[in-house]
Amino acid sequence: MVANNLITNSGIIDDRYASYEKAAITVMGSKVVSSATYSGGSGGLPVGEYPCDTVTVKNNLLDLKEGSGVRVEHSKTISVDSNVIYCTKTSATANYYGVVFRDGVNPANITKNYISNPAVNGIHIDSCTLNYISGNEIISAGKYGMG
């Protein structure tokens, strides 16, 4: 569980070691499409899905300067509930969201979140299976409340 956190000024510095999208909270499993063998015969992970499983993101206060509030990818049994997400400076040219679920998240619930001023969509769903989205309040989305 990721709960009861105050995260401010999120996204103001790029990660020079990785090209990940900026986000205050990220829950991300992996999909390995090819396995590697290293010198000495040791190998990497076998080809397959390696999801994060049974994660709840709840009661967090997020103040974003750049990036998404809660980003979830390649995961299952996820709940994002009762978070307050302020997008105070995000660029309208970037694809940043209040809450974003992508790439095989299932099943998932998004409930009772307050999302203010997301650059694009308040809640963005792409290639996922949801149980329900309910009771969210989205204010001044750049494009769609939910997309």
pLDDT category at 129 given cuts 50, 70, 90 is confident
pLDDT of 84-117, one tens digit each? 999 986 555 678 899 999 988 988 899 999 999 9
pLDDT of 54-91, one tens digit each? 999 999 999 988 889 999 999 999 999 999 999 986 55
Residues 6+ apart with CB under 8 A from 9: 63, 65
| Buried/exposed code over 22-59 (b: 16+ C-beta within 10 A; e: otherwise) | bbbbbbbbeeeeeeeeeeeeeeeeeeeeebbeebebbe
